[in-house]
């Protein structure tokens, strides 16, 4: 077993560099760094940020694709006792400007691909610098003591905004440290562990891999974005033991595998971002991809429920049990026990940045009100049905889009599916679906509806089915259902 860090108050990379200096910390493209080498680079970056006026408690916004620069800034900002605000590089200039206005950073750091946004920022009198410039010039800026307040804010991570305007979830050092501990308690931490990180780094899923790997002492192979061919090759050639994906990514990797099994060294594939179809879990298991459904939120610093490594595939219905010190409660359950999922525990955020009313609504009586609908079974396993805002009420009956999507996805010709409501004078809402077929396949809407009719109650059947070439998604892989209506 690896020896995890035990002090959340000392910047984690610097602790790790003293403990296992020569172990692999990061590999990106053809470059690799030990923990000691990475700490030296991040120390220099921290000093250069300090020379540009970053003080403890300041916010540093980061508009960079997944790269070594992102990792350096992540740790350098912690070393300065400042707060990192990672932004989505796929947003428009107007959307970036809105987030910058919201978080009011001391500094915006951008990469070459985002330089156009930086020009807009300069016009707004915000100080913006190129990330590459932090690799040159004097690195003699003074640094604060090598201590942080565990309850101070480590990162402000913006929610994806699928149900409204993005809100900045304030995650403390203690939140992230507890999240790493919970993941480790569930997955274990072994010598030679190596994470593949192909998730967006502005998203809490990709970010949490970078943080927990330092706390645990495992290495990271960083892709900085998802490409099924590259992920397939990395899983086979790079000694990967752990990775995280969303269901869409996993489905594409399964398709890419073409029935060739993966190495037995791969211990777990965490799958989040929404319910995972049982058929996809079965396909993954058959290929040596031990996929474990998870449940987590930006507001909980990543996963709070999942299955344990080695769980029997036949019994893995749902998102698993609470990990670490997380607890669940179902509020206002209906006759089936379905209600709003509430979460408590040490990974729950401090609140939303500069949104006291939203924070008060979300955090009540020690519980995070998630707006997700689910239930707990007799064994304590959490089953997540959908977001309350995605619930379709048709003729007085509740329809969970994820349940209908799972049936659509079970058809051998269907690659992707999204279910959403359309207004209906008679029924209030009618169930509708957008479907992406596998390349080279053809299917009529009545054939697909007949498939569903043998597997779903009549009121759940999609009355409208349209075939599309792709579904609108957020950077983290969630379907933007509002764009389909």
Q: For residue range 52-107, what is the model confidence (pLDDT) as tens digits?
A: 999 999 999 999 988 999 999 999 999 999 999 999 887 777 778 888 989 999 99
User: Hey, what are 82's tokens?
Assistant: 């400042």
C-alpha 373/C-alpha 388 separation (Å) is 6
- The full set of domains in the chain, from first to last, is 12-148 (3.40.50.980), 174-388 (3.40.50.12780), 391-483 (3.30.300.30)
- pLDDT score at 160: 64
In terms of residues, how long is the chain?
Answer: 485
- The pTM of the full predicted model, rounded to 2 decimals, is 0.85
Helices 204-216, 12-19: crossing angle, 10 deg rounding:
40
- pLDDT score at 312: 65
Residue with the bigger pLDDT between 274 and 106: it is: 106
Q: For residue range 134-148, what is the model confidence (pLDDT) as tens digits?
A: 877 777 778 998 999
Residue with the bigger pLDDT between 112 and 189: it is: 189
Q: How far apart, in Å, do the first and last CA atoms of the chain sit?
A: 50
- pLDDT score at 88: 86
Q: How far is CA 401 from the centre of its chain?
A: 21
- pLDDT score at 303: 96
C-alpha 12/C-alpha 265 separation (Å) is 27
Predicted confidence (pLDDT) at residue 295 exceeds the cutoff of 80: yes
Predicted confidence (pLDDT) at residue 342 exceeds the cutoff of 90: yes
The b/e string for 39-49 (b: 16+ C-beta within 10 A; e otherwise) is bebbbbbbbbb
Residue with tokens 């403890």: 56
Mean pLDDT taken over the chain: 90
- pLDDT score at 301: 97
Residue pair 427/394 in contact by the 8 Å Cβ criterion: yes
- pLDDT score at 121: 54
């Amino acid at each position: 077993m690896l020896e995890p860090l035990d002090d959340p108050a000392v910047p984690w990379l610097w602790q790790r560099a003293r403990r296992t200096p020569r172990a692999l910390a990061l590999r990106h493209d053809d470059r690799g760094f030990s923990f000691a080498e990475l700490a030296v680079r991040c120390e220099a970056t921290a000093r250069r940020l300090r020379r540009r006026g970053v003080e403890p408690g300041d916010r540093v916004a980061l508009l960079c694709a997944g790269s070594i620069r992102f990792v350096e800034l992540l740790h350098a900002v912690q070393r300065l006792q400042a707060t990192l605000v990672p932004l989505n590089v796929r947003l428009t200039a107007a959307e970036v400007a809105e987030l910058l206005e919201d978080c009011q950073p001391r500094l915006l750091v951008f990469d070459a691909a985002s330089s156009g946004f930086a020009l807009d920022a300069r016009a707004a009198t915000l100080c913006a610098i190129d990330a590459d410039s932090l690799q040159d010039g004097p690195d003699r800026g003074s640094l604060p003591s090598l201590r942080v307040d565990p309850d101070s804010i480590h990162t402000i991570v913006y929610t994806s905004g699928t149900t409204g305007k993005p809100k900045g979830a304030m995650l403390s050092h203690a939140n992230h440290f507890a999240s790493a501990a919970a993941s480790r308690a569930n997955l274990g931490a072994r010598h030679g562990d190596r994470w593949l990180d192909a998730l967006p780094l502005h998203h809490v899923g990709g970010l949490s891999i970078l943080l927990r790997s330092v706390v645990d002492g495992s290495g990271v192979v960083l892709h900085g974005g998802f490409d099924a061919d590259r992920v397939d090759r990395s899983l086979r050639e790079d000694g990967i033991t752990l990775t995280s994906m969303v269901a869409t990514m996993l489905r594409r990797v399964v398709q890419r595998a073409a029935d060739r099994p993966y190495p037995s060294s791969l211990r777990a594939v965490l799958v989040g971002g929404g319910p995972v179809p049982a058929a996809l879990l079965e396909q993954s298991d058959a290929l040596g991809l031990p996929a474990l459904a998870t449940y987590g939120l930006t507001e909980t610093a990543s996963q709070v429920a999942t299955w344990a490594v080695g769980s029997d595939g036949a019994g893995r219905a749902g998102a698993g049990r609470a990990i670490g010190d997380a607890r669940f409660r179902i509020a206002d359950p209906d006759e089936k026990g379905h209600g709003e999922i509430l979460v408590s525990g040490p990974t729950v955020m401090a609140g939303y940045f500069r949104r006291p009313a939203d924070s008060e609504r979300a955090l009540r009586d020690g519980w995070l009100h998630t707006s997700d609908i689910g239930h707990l079974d007799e064994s304590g396993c959490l089953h997540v049905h959908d977001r309350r805002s995605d619930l379709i009420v048709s003729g007085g009956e509740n329809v969970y889009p994820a349940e209908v999507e799972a049936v659509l996805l079970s058809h051998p010709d269907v690659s992707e599916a999204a279910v959403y409501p359309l207004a209906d004078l008679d029924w209030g809402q009618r169930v509708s679906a957008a479907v992406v077929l596998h390349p080279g396949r053809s299917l009529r809407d009545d054939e697909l509806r007949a498939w569903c009719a043998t597997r779903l109650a009549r009121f759940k059947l999609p009355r409208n089915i349209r075939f599309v070439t792709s579904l609108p998604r957020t950077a983290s892989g969630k379907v933007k259902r509002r764009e389909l209506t």
